[in-house]
Amino acid sequence: MRAMTLNDVDAVLGIELAVQVYPWTRGNFIDALSHGYVCRVDEDGGETRGYAVLMPVLDEAELLNIGVAAGQQRKGLGRAMLHEMLDVAREKNMRRVFLEVRSSNAAALALYRSTGFGEIGVRRGYYQNASGSEDAVTMACELPSPLTPLPQVGEGN
Ligand SMILES: CC(C)(COP(=O)(O)OP(=O)(O)OC[C@H]1O[C@@H](n2cnc3c(N)ncnc32)[C@H](O)[C@@H]1OP(=O)(O)O)[C@@H](O)C(=O)NCCC(=O)NCCS
């Protein structure tokens, strides 16, 4: 992965619009870049395949967004990007990473659970959906010190 720039926003937004139920806008990505959040893209041969956005706050961080292009899903890219964002957080001496996910998002929930995130709460009716609203599941991953290797793919699943 490499740092996202303003030049990446078109490609990232194209993926976002295709894969997210309620996608971020162009302005959301530009705001994330201008606030100095950790914004990364995964690129292969000039093709943008995925992206992730992490918001650091003191010694904690929130994973605000992660997406993989529809044609690239289920190949391990989401897990690899998530591991990289956790590595970045550890390098910045953060103690934990939070995120919120729709309770209906089985793919993301499975990814997070198998990458060391645990559920710490539920916000009832937090997200809009076609039938009105749905719950947000709040999850957290406690980070080991920067010198301790993260569990590898498949461990502890
Ligand atoms: C969630 C997302 C990022 C996962 O990316 P991915 O590259 O497809 O995921 P990976 O191939 O790394 O899979 C990692 C794990 O996630 C889970 N997973 C991924 N896709 C899944 C699916 N369609 N159904 C069930 N579990 C799934 C599995 O546990 C998988 O591990 P396994 O392959 O060993 O079974 C991707 O599906 C996506 O972009 N979704 C739309 C955007 C989104 O929902 N973002 C998260 C918002 S909180």
Q: What pLDDT score does 95 carry?
A: 95
Is 100 in the active site?
Answer: yes
Q: What pLDDT score does 157 carry?
A: 46
Structural domain contains residue 38: yes
pLDDT band at 3 (very low <50, low <70, confident <90, very high): very high
Structural domain contains residue 148: no
Ligand 1 neighbourhood includes 2 CB (under 6 angstroms): no
Is 91 in the active site?
Answer: no
Print the domain residue range for 100.
2-142
CATH number of the CATH domain containing 117: 3.40.630.30
Residue 88 to residue 91: CA distance in whole angstroms: 5
Question: Which has the closest alpha carbon to 116: 76, 151, 67?
Answer: 151
Does pLDDT of 155 surpass 60?
no
pLDDT band at 151 (very low <50, low <70, confident <90, very high): low
Q: What pLDDT score does 129 carry?
A: 85
Structural domain contains residue 111: yes
Of residues 11 and 157, the one with the higher pLDDT is 11
Structural domain contains residue 97: yes
Domain count, the chain: 1
Structural domain contains residue 150: no
Instruction: Provide the edge-to-edge strand list for the sheet that holds 118-129.
Output: 2-3, 38-44, 47-57, 60-68, 96-102, 132-142, 118-129
Structural domain contains residue 14: yes
User: Residues 37, 51, 112, 127: which is the catalytic one?
Assistant: 112
Residue carrying the six token digits 């990505």: 29
Q: Whose CA is nearest to atom 16 of ligand 1?
A: 111
pLDDT tens string 55-104: 999 999 999 999 999 999 999 999 999 999 999 999 999 999 999 999 99
Q: What pLDDT score does 131 carry?
A: 84
Ligand 1 neighbourhood includes 129 CB (under 6 angstroms): no
Structural domain contains residue 153: no
Q: What pLDDT score does 21 carry?
A: 87
Structural domain contains residue 67: yes
Cβ atoms < 10 Å from Cβ of 45 = 5
pLDDT tens string 19-57: 998 999 999 999 999 999 999 999 999 999 999 999 999
Does pLDDT of 112 surpass 80?
yes
Of 21, 74, 85, 101, the one to substitute when testing ligand 1's pocket (max ligand atoms within 8 A of C-beta) is: 74
